[in-house]
A and B are shown apart, each in its own frame.
Chain A
Amino acid sequence: MTVIDILFRVDEICKKYDKYDPEKQREANAFLDDAFARLYSLVEADIEKALAVRFLFSYPFLFLFSFQTLIFQINYWNKMQKSDKVSTEKNRAAAVALSAEIRRIKARLMEEVPKLQKLAKKKVKGLSKEDHETRFDMVLALPDRIKAIPDGSTAAASESGGWGTSSSNKKIKFDSSEERFGSDFYQQTEESDQFRQEYEMRKMKQDEGLDVISEGLDTLKNIALDMNEEIDRQVPLMDEIETKVDKTTSDIRKNNVRLKKTITQIRSSRNFCIDIILLCIILGIAFYLYNALK
């Protein structure tokens, strides 16, 4: 048998024989006799639950801790409203739903408070006078405690003391949600103001740069158009040059041909042979004469 099994069995047995537990009976009897005490304990339990729910939502992993640490954490967390806000921003929709739930609980508890007050006034046997007065004080303190349960609307007010803006009836939900927007909204614009300023500065700088670029582009466009026109002007001139050059080349070719013809005529091979033969004949005659004279 494991330890867990033993524990469960023990719990079961205790529950069964609770009626024989003297301390618990005393408490139960006390509560039975005292409607006030009973109601009060219920109200307290509800408050704790509301706080726990609120807390649980913010720190879900802490659900595993014991009840004592839970209470301690709740008290600690009550002081840390600001940090809570940051985390709630992350899951806003869920926060809204949860806050509505808490508000509902608070409203119900507020209804119970007048009943408690009536009961407190009643004289109960077995209670001393001091106890009676303390009960009254406790009842008076209850509304404060109930109101102190944060549901998103009292965050800003809690810094000033916990009352503040929640003077309006909690049953009407519109007001609180508006207030909640009001306080959140204000905080946001402080940051976004800076951002907006920076944005405006950057935009101005960009505008200046773009102006410079546009002027440069204007100049480029003008230069390009002028170049275009200049080239258009050159086109007919080029055509003229082309025709003239064509004519000149054909003239030169014609002349070359004629020249070639003339030269070949002058230096034809027939003439050349005739020249050589005549030259040989002359040399022969000269040789003959030379021989004859010798």
Chain B
Amino acid sequence: MSSSDPNKLISKADKLTKLSLTRWSADWKSATLLYEQAANGFRVSKDYEKAKLAFEKASKGQEMLASPWDAAKHMESAAALAKELRNWTEVIDFYRRASELYMQCDRPQPASDSLAKAARALEDALPDDAVQLYTDACVILEDDGKEQMAFDLYRAAASVYVKLEKFTDAATFLLRLGLAADKCNARNSQCKVYLSAIIVYLYAHDLKQAEKCYNDCSQIDAFLRSDQNRCASKLLSAYTEGDVEEIKRVAQSSTISNLDNVIIKLARKLPTGDVAELKEEAAKGEEEALDENDLT
């Protein structure tokens, strides 16, 4: 049966499912079987469009047969083929459908996995959608209480934001990662994430925000006692001093080299802009405060 032309199989299966005068109820079982065979045949012959179609139909058949797991699996295959065809909207649709089916099976992990796969596929083409998908995947995992799996997803989402140059969003994501790490008692990841957030703020040339972030993070005991804390304080003091050499030296240190690749690239590019001007700003702020005091 499998050696016969997949097209014929498809037409046969269609006939089985189509309701007409002679057929009162569709025979999904055999139809699904035929659809699967046809899809495999198409995939082997690299006819992606038809294979995708066949997988869709097979998935529908499985749904009818009340096995969402198999349905979801077929949906995923269909989505992978759609990725080959670079049909991004379809990719999104298929992966979402698959994740929903997985949730029906009460299996949140594969659900988030499929969303993550979708996001990864879309990183280059539609980054905003990719980020959205990452967020949804993380939400699923967090609901399930499996934050540890979410680390990678958060990291990937943050790197996408950095690529888009949306630094505040990236930093926010990193802080959410920190929160997840805190829940899992993953001290090292937490501290690394906080340091990365500070670096991102500094790269965005936002010293005040960076300092605020640093103050917030210092509230956390684990961060306060870590190497990353020392590195962050060195970096911030170098910035307030306006010492470019010191900044470069800290950026070369091993603590920063242990962070994510994207963050390392940012750190190496520090300092952006004019550090002296930052120093002046800070000094001016202090002077103004003094003047006020004098007046009173």
Query: Chain A residues in contact with chain B, CB under 8 A?
Result: 215, 218-219, 222, 225-226, 228-229, 232-233, 236
* Nearest CB of chain B from residue A95's CB, rounded to whole Å: 56
Contact B189 A229 (CB under 8 A): yes
Contact B258 A229 (CB under 8 A): no
Supposing A232-B148, A236-B146 touch, asked if A218 and B254 sit within 8 A by C-beta, the answer is yes
Contact A218 B255 (CB under 8 A): yes
B149 in the interface (beta carbon within 8 A)? yes
Supposing A218-B254, A218-B255, A222-B258 touch, asked if A229 and B149 sit within 8 A by C-beta, the answer is no
8 Å CB contacts to A: which residues of B144-172? 146, 148-149
Instruction: Give 13 new A-B contacts, CB below 8 A, not counting A222-B188, A229-B188.
Output: A215-B254, A218-B254, A218-B258, A219-B254, A222-B254, A222-B258, A225-B188, A229-B148, A229-B186, A232-B148, A232-B184, A236-B146, A236-B148
* Nearest CB of chain B from residue A91's CB, rounded to whole Å: 55
Contacts of B255 in A (CB 8 A): 218
Contact B186 A219 (CB under 8 A): no
8 Å CB contacts to A: which residues of B112-171? 146, 148-149
Contact A233 B188 (CB under 8 A): no
Contact A233 B149 (CB under 8 A): yes
Contacts of B189 in A (CB 8 A): 229
Secondary structure dominating the interface of A: helix
Contact A219 B258 (CB under 8 A): yes
* Nearest CB of chain B from residue A120's CB, rounded to whole Å: 82
Contacts of B184 in A (CB 8 A): 232
- The answer for the CA separation of A219 and B184 in the assembled complex, in Å, is 23
Secondary structure dominating the interface of B: helix
Q: List 25 A-B contacts (CB under 8 A).
A: A215-B254, A218-B254, A218-B255, A218-B258, A219-B254, A219-B257, A219-B258, A222-B188, A222-B254, A222-B258, A225-B188, A226-B188, A228-B188, A229-B148, A229-B186, A229-B188, A229-B189, A232-B148, A232-B184, A232-B185, A232-B186, A233-B148, A233-B149, A236-B146, A236-B148
How many interface residues does chain B have, given as a range? 10 to 19
Contacts of A232 in B (CB 8 A): 148, 184-186
Contacts of A228 in B (CB 8 A): 188
Contacts of B258 in A (CB 8 A): 218-219, 222
* Nearest CB of chain A from residue B155's CB, rounded to whole Å: 13
- The answer for the CA separation of A233 and B148 in the assembled complex, in Å, is 6
Contacts of B257 in A (CB 8 A): 219
Query: Chain B residues in contact with chain A, CB under 8 A?
Result: 146, 148-149, 184-186, 188-189, 254-255, 257-258
Q: Which of A218, A219, A228 gathers most chain B CB within 10 Å?
A: A218
- The answer for the CA separation of A228 and B184 in the assembled complex, in Å, is 12
- The answer for the CA separation of A233 and B184 in the assembled complex, in Å, is 9
- The answer for the CA separation of A38 and B149 in the assembled complex, in Å, is 114
Nearest B residue to A234 via CB reads B148
Contacts of A219 in B (CB 8 A): 254, 257-258
Going nearest first, the 10 A-B pairs with the smallest beta carbon separation are A225-B188, A218-B254, A222-B258, A233-B148, A229-B186, A215-B254, A229-B189, A229-B188, A219-B254, A232-B186
- The answer for the CA separation of A232 and B257 in the assembled complex, in Å, is 23
* Nearest CB of chain B from residue A146's CB, rounded to whole Å: 69
Q: Which of B189, B255, B258 gathers most chain A CB within 10 Å?
A: B258
* Nearest CB of chain B from residue A28's CB, rounded to whole Å: 93
Nearest B residue to A218 via CB reads B254
- The answer for the CA separation of A222 and B258 in the assembled complex, in Å, is 7
Contacts of B149 in A (CB 8 A): 233
- The answer for the CA separation of A200 and B143 in the assembled complex, in Å, is 61
Nearest B residue to A215 via CB reads B254
- The answer for the CA separation of A232 and B188 in the assembled complex, in Å, is 12
Contacts of A222 in B (CB 8 A): 188, 254, 258
Contacts of B186 in A (CB 8 A): 229, 232
Contacts of A218 in B (CB 8 A): 254-255, 258
- The answer for the CA separation of A232 and B187 in the assembled complex, in Å, is 12
- The answer for the CA separation of A222 and B187 in the assembled complex, in Å, is 12
- The answer for the CA separation of A207 and B137 in the assembled complex, in Å, is 49
Contacts of A225 in B (CB 8 A): 188
- The answer for the CA separation of A232 and B185 in the assembled complex, in Å, is 10
* Nearest CB of chain A from residue B177's CB, rounded to whole Å: 12
* Nearest CB of chain B from residue A5's CB, rounded to whole Å: 93
* Nearest CB of chain B from residue A92's CB, rounded to whole Å: 51
- The answer for the CA separation of A222 and B146 in the assembled complex, in Å, is 23
* Nearest CB of chain B from residue A219's CB, rounded to whole Å: 7
- The answer for the CA separation of A81 and B185 in the assembled complex, in Å, is 78
* Nearest CB of chain A from residue B239's CB, rounded to whole Å: 23
Contacts of B254 in A (CB 8 A): 215, 218-219, 222
- The answer for the CA separation of A112 and B260 in the assembled complex, in Å, is 94
Contacts of A236 in B (CB 8 A): 146, 148
Contacts of A233 in B (CB 8 A): 148-149
Q: Which of A219, A226, A229, A232 gathers most chain B CB within 10 Å?
A: A229
- The answer for the CA separation of A226 and B254 in the assembled complex, in Å, is 15
* Nearest CB of chain B from residue A100's CB, rounded to whole Å: 61
- The answer for the CA separation of A85 and B276 in the assembled complex, in Å, is 64
- The answer for the CA separation of A233 and B255 in the assembled complex, in Å, is 23
- The answer for the CA separation of A233 and B146 in the assembled complex, in Å, is 9
